[in-house]
């Protein structure tokens, strides 16, 4: 058959399977690959004539001589396929997981000619040992049907094999692109974690040692995937599963246990993140829901946090398959200034600069990850509200503040940016939070005001801050249920661009 049929069936830009080449190698290797495709089967392959002669066996091979297994001869595979394990993505021929179930050496006992329709050979594998035969029975509907038979010898037995695949010499993980060796990484349980955080700087910069990503305007979330279950966790350690069941369903289709870090966003009809849309998405389903993944903390109980960022990005390329609602957050290198200008032109919140060799530090605000804002946005905590005026219902402005050294400081009012739906929703929340005295340490007198417990976090955009850090022309953007109010404070730019 050579390799023409094998190559015709596959799109090598979409599948991790090897393209392969014909070779004159005279080795006598065999492999059995457990292939969990549309139907589970076992692919038996013998190295012959520079290729792997191949048969698909619908049921697990056995050492019991009384059992004859059907084997359907399929297209020849390249010799490189003998070590292939991985995930063939959906939409490709043979989509599913491939694992090496057994491998080893073989030796023909008589005729080596397939045309004879009868092959006998000795197998020396981890599971299959002793004499076997392949006997051709008939050709039906263009298929070559054979029987795979175990001879009665010292290795014969009736006991069934376990489903465990053959362990490789090194601890490896089989992903979309093939083998990824993580044997040198320390073990770590897949469990609740806190995301690494950024440090604010004033200006963008260029550097070959850094890469640059979009600062997505949404909910930061870790995805914990283990044993087929998924937990989406906000930065405030709240579950987001019920709010975004579409993401949970999509993440369940990933073929490996892992912890991912990313931002949940909803894009508007122009393709830009819209924070208003994400708040109501669970009810309205308006906009394009995307989980932009930018990091991986763990794979199959191995700690990826100790790897440099560039390596973790390579791992993401392997494990993120083409699934709905999931995308890798792309990046550029070197040109931070130009990337920042593009963000400003497109009204994007800002960019994130990350050092290429940075490790992942859980729960730490690191100077290896920097945030450069193109828009002046800030999280604030609601501490009160004023009475409505001029025909508005529910309330006039929200009185907001931030925490400084455990004290809640008033920084201004937010009176615009609300829809009628926002006003009604907020008022129902505010009524449950009403308290007698002002929660602000620096502000307790305002006519027609009502105080509330400082539990509600919102996102605002503002024109500027005064010298004493009071807001000017603040506009409401959305509710931040994913944020802990006690952690809301002003971020001061800590690093000057000359440091890079």
Which residues carry out catalysis? 215
Nearest-angstrom CA–CA distance, 60 and 36: 12
Instruction: Find the helix or strand (DSSP H, E) in which 427 lies.
Output: helix 420-431
Q: Which of 408, 405, 419 is nearest to 441 (CA)?
A: 408
In this structure, what DSSP letter does residue 296 have? E
Instruction: Find the helix or strand (DSSP H, E) in which 326 lies.
Output: strand 326-328
Q: Which of 224, 219, 218 is nearest to 193 (CA)?
A: 224
Residue 407 CB neighbour total at 10 angstroms: 11
DSSP 161-190: PPSPPPPPSS-EEEETTEEEE-TTSPB---
Give just the sign of the alpha carbon dihedral 94, 95, 101, 102.
Answer: positive
68-77 vs 143-150, strand pairing mode: antiparallel
In angstroms, how far is CA 77 from the centroid of its own chain? 31
Measured between alpha carbons, how far is residue 475 from residues 178, 241, 379 in Å? 49, 29, 12
Nearest-angstrom CA–CA distance, 30 and 386: 78
Nearest-angstrom CA–CA distance, 142 and 276: 59
């Amino acid at each position: 058959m050579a390799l023409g049929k094998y190559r015709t069936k596959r799109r090598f830009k979409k599948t991790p399977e090897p393209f392969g080449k014909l070779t004159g190698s005279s080795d006598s290797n065999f492999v059995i690959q457990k292939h969990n495709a549309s139907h589970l089967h076992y692919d038996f392959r013998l190295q012959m004539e520079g290729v792997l002669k191949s048969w698909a066996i619908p049921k697990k091979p056995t050492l019991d001589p009384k059992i004859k297994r059907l084997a359907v001869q399929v297209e020849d595979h390249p010799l490189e396929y003998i070590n292939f394990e991985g995930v063939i993505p959906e939409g490709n021929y043979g989509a599913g997981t491939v694992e090496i179930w057994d491998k080893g050496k073989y030796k023909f006992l008589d005729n080596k000619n397939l045309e004879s329709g009868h092959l006998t050979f000795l197998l020396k594998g981890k599971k299959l040992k002793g004499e076997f035969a392949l006997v051709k029975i008939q050709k039906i509907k263009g298929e070559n049907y054979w029987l795979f038979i175990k001879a009665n010898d010292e290795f014969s037995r009736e006991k069934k094999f376990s489903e465990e695949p053959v362990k490789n010499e090194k601890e490896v993980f089989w992903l979309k692109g093939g083998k990824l060796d993580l044997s040198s990484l320390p073990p770590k349980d897949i469990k609740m974690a806190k995301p690494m955080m950024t440090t604010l700087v004033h200006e963008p910069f260029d550097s070959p040692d850094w890469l640059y990503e979009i600062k997505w305007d949404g909910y930061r979330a870790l995805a914990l995937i283990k044993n087929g279950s998924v937990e989406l966790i906000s930065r405030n350690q709240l579950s987001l599963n019920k709010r975004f069941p579409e993401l949970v369903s999509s993440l369940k289709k990933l073929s490996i246990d892992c912890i991912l870090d990313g931002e949940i966003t909803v894009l508007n009809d122009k393709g830009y993140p819209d924070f208003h849309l994400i708040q109501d998405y669970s009810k309205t389903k308006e906009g394009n829901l995307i989980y932009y993944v930018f990091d991986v903390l763990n794979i199959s109980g191995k700690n990826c946090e100790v790897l440099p960022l560039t390596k973790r990005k390579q791992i993401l390329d392997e494990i993120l398959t083409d699934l709905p609602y999931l995308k890798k957050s792309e990046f550029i290198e070197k040109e931070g200034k130009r990337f920042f200008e593009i963000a400003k032109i497109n009204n994007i919140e800002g960019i994130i600069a990350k050092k290429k060799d940075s490790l992942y530090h859980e729960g730490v605000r690191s100077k290896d990850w920097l945030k450069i804002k193109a828009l002046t946005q800030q999280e604030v905590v609601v501490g009160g509200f004023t009475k409505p005026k001029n025909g508005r219902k529910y309330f006039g402005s929200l009185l907001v503040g931030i925490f400084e050294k455990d004290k809640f400081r008033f920084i201004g009012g937010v009176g615009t940016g609300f829809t009628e739906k926002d006003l009604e929703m907020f008022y129902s929340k505010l009524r449950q939070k009403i308290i007698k005295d002002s929660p602000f340490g620096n502000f307790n007198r305002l006519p027609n005001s009502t105080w509330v417990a400082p539990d509600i976090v919102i996102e605002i955009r503002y024109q500027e801050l005064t010298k004493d850090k009071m807001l000017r022309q603040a506009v409401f953007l959305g509710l931040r249920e994913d944020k802990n109010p006690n952690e809301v404070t002003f971020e001061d730019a800590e690093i000057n661009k000359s440091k890079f």
